[in-house]
Amino acid sequence: LDIQPAAKFNDWLPEGITLLGGRPKAGKSGFAERASVEISENLPVLHFALECNALMLRARMSGYEANPLQNLTLYHHGALPRLDAGGLDALKREVETHQAELVVLDTFAKIKRAGDVKGYEAEYRAMEDLVNLRSGTGVSILMLHHTTKPSHQEAGDIFDSILGSTALAAVPDNLLIITGRDGAKILHGSGRLIEYFQLPLKWAEPGFAVDEPDAALREKA
């Protein structure tokens, strides 16, 4: 069986449903914002910054040369209810209205179904909602989420650090994790149709960007 690798929007983001994890203040939001701006130069992107109010979002995006009325549509806190409270239908309408190729959800916790924060069933059903959205519209989804702080004794798979139940790692097509401190950050990636990789990140003012996409740090599984 000839399985083709997943197409990519840029150097690091494959098509499909992708979860981007990292510790609080690791730079996930800035990394995703930069990606949305750059990808929207060629494709329609919906970016839901659900932890920012309108003023904060304007301030965060002011450093980019982008026209939000063209290919990038921005949404702030309160723009999208939880998936089981009308959010899924609203998201589908926006995707169809804008013919979006990519949806960014910052963060997943803001829209997942209500229930136990670490409950497998609630998180699996929320993921299933997004799988159905992709199946029905063809849109790719990048959702941001937190990771747990590993203990000094922890030696397991880095993707095991994703906060919550195993559903969060089992359902998405791709998993991405940002690790490191200050300027020395690394993006780790793995997925069903991509080989495992590591890419160094750099501060790009604003947000983080991939530093030397073909650097020697890129690894195969």
pLDDT in tens, the chain (221 residues): 556 788 999 999 999 999 999 888 888 999 999 999 999 999 999 999 999 999 999 999 988 875 655 799 999 999 999 998 999 999 999 999 999 999 999 989 899 877 655 567 777 888 889 999 999 999 999 999 988 765 444 445 777 767 655 667 778 999 999 988 766 899 999 998 899 999 999 888 888 889 876 654 555 44
CA dist., res. 64 & res. 36, Å (int)? 11
Cβ contact 102:39 at 8 Å:
yes
202 three-state secondary structure: strand
Tell which residue, 145, 147, 159, 73, has the closest CA to residue 110.
145
Give the Cα separation of 27 and 34 in Å (integer).
11
Question: In 3D, which of 4, 1, 17, 15 has the Cα closest to residue 141?
Answer: 17
Spatial neighbors of 45 by CB under 8 A, at least 6 apart, are: 36, 39, 71, 72, 73, 100, 101, 102, 103, 104
Q: What is the per-residue pLDDT for 152?
A: 43
198: left (phi > 0), else alpha (psi -120 to 50), else beta? beta
Give the pairing of strands 197-203 and 72-75. Answer: unpaired
Q: Residue 96: enclosing H or E segment and its boundaries? A: helix 87-98
SS (H, E, C) 121-186: HHHHHHHHHHHHHHHHHCCEEEEEEEECCCCCCCCCCHHHHECCCCHHHHCCCEEEEEEEECCEEE
List the one residue out of 181, 215, 184, 180 whose CA is nearest residue 197: 215
- In this prediction, residue 154 carries a pLDDT of 45
Identity of the residue numbered 214: D
Structure confidence at residue 96 (pLDDT) = 97
pTM above 0.75, yes or no: yes
Element (H, E) at 193: none
